[in-house]
Amino acid sequence: MYTHITNQFSHFNILCIGDLMVDVYLRGASTRLSPEAPVPVVNVTSTTVSLGGGANTAANLSHLGARVTYCSVTGADTDGGRAITLLQHAGVQCRVIQHNSRNTIVKTRVMAGSQMLTRYDAGSEHAILPEVENEFIQLLQELYPQYDAVVIADYGKGLLTPAVLNALVQLQQEHPLCVAVDSKRLEYFMPLRPTLVKPNYREAVMMLQLEEQATNRHQQLEDKGSSLYAQTGAAITALTLDEAGALVFEGEKPVYRAFARPIPMPNVSGAGDTYISAFTLAWLAGAGIPACAEIAGAAAAVAIGKQETAHCLQHELEAFFSVNEKYVTDLQQLRHICNIYKGQGKKVVFTNGCFDILHSGHVSYLNRARELGDVLLVGINTDDSIRRLKGSTRPVNQLYDRMQVLAGLEAVRHIVPFGSLEDDTPAALIEVIQPHIFVKGGDYTKETLPEAALVEQFGGEVVLLPLVPDRSTTHIIRRINTTPALKVAK
């Protein structure tokens, strides 16, 4: 749907500036309270370290396909070195100043299952020292003219001082670029006249001195475009509203309302970093505001479906949009689609067949197959595959027509053609999909089904459904050929 936009992300060079943070997740199980205080005891079984703050924004831009340079200041310590290594692994070029006047900011979350029990923070949040400030400004002066856009991820941790901001304003006047800003103090960046700002709901109501509302957030803010513009001076304001979606203003005017996609058990940490990254790249690619908002919302939905502070890979974004398309022809795309479903905790059901002349037996079979799980994927033999299996007179209907008819069934989520000279079984699809349930008709047994062992190898279950009596494509063709009136009609 938006592939022509996302395919251009790799064309852009982005300079990302922002506070560097590290997110640590201590995961385990909690089955008792401490005897020392009424708090749960967590037996930690795993530790995950990921990028946070501006570093996560840089990683998101890179994972979406852009060429990214990240500029920041952090501690000359182990955590700072670890963050730089993680950035490099994410494909980000690092121009990070490590200085012994600071300690790297680390946010540690203690998790019992999916529940966060506590978070504790450490690291320097005071303004960078004047000598470090001068070094950082010189770095920005060196780099600024080389990029297509600047993304500023400000967390108010001492990096973006007034002197740094003044330097950015001067650089922007000399070398105008697309500037996107994500900050809790967007009014601070008004002298930059940003191309894009991304306040969330809480930031917006604080900026406008409004009362927070639990509901009707869209209605509360849809007429506040002039007030937001007066505070930020931004050409575009993408106001994210959590489960209420997003409102996008062009200058003072509201121009688009995007609706949120429901994600089970979302982890919203880092979602804003993903959103502004995707919006900025879509804008650079020439997309209109509605497309930018939809792409950014989809990228954020992918990110919050993951357990840790997350990012959205370019192929994950493309797969997310493909989830809403019935036809899938690329196996790599199919793999990503199935990973999305499984990441959402959905049970994937797979079946296959020729589906040459669709009849009531097919419809009943597919409806029952769909009831066994959450999403039904259907493999359909290509025309050449059917000819090899059933002879030169088949198929009656060509592949495109057969797929069109199947797509009209509500039970069917995706249709995937298969078959080759080497293998006319759905084995290659099973290896990619790794379905929770593989369904075939009752004319098979597990012993006569060559794919059964492969399904079970991947932890799936084989289910055989009884067929509707006297309902088959072969029966229909035989009836046409033996009934004079039907032969004439044919």
* Dihedral over Cα of 343, 346, 352, 354: its sign: negative
Q: Which residues are catalytic?
A: 273
In angstroms, the Cα distances linking 189 to 24, 192, 194, 202, 249 are: 30, 6, 8, 18, 18
Burial string for 404-423 (b: 16+ CB within 10 Å, else e) reads eebeebebbbbbbbbbeeee
Strand-pairing partners, residue 380, are 353, 417
Structure tokens of 44? 């930690």
| pLDDT for the residue numbered 490 | 44
pLDDT at 309: 61
Map out the domains of the chain with their CATH numbers.
3-322 (3.40.1190.20), 331-489 (3.40.50.620)
Write the CB contacts of 215 (distance below 8 Å, at least 6 apart in sequence): none
Nearest to 76 by CA among 31, 32, 123: 123
Residue 60's pLDDT is 95
Distance CA 335, CA 341 (A): 10
71 closest CA partner among 168, 6, 4? 168
**Phi, psi dihedrals of residue 313, rounded to the nearest 5°:** -75, 155
Start-to-end CA span in the chain (Å): 39
Q: What is the pLDDT of residue 36?
A: 93
Strand arrangement, sheet containing 40-52: 40-52, 20-33, 105-112, 115-122
pLDDT by 10s per residue, the chain, length 490: 688 899 999 999 999 999 999 999 999 999 899 999 999 999 999 999 999 999 999 999 999 999 999 999 999 999 999 999 999 999 999 999 999 999 999 999 999 987 889 999 999 999 999 999 999 999 999 999 999 999 999 999 999 999 999 999 999 999 999 999 999 999 999 999 999 999 999 999 999 999 988 888 888 898 999 999 999 999 999 999 988 889 999 999 999 988 877 666 666 777 889 999 999 999 999 999 999 999 999 999 888 877 666 788 888 888 777 766 788 878 888 888 898 888 888 999 999 999 988 888 889 899 999 999 999 999 999 999 999 988 888 888 888 788 888 888 989 999 999 998 889 999 999 999 999 999 998 777 888 888 899 999 999 999 998 876 555 555 555 666 666 655 544 4
Q: How many CA atoms lie within 13 A of 278 on its CB side?
A: 30
Contact 359, 467 (CB under 8 A): no
pLDDT on residue 482: 67
Predicted pLDDT of residue 214: 83
- CA–CA gap between residue 486 and residue 480 (Å, rounded): 5
- What confidence score (pLDDT) does residue 90 get? 94
If one counts every other C-beta atom within 10 angstroms of the C-beta of residue 271, the result is 24
The CA–CA distances, whole Å, from 205 to 184, 216, 219, 256 equal 11, 13, 13, 19
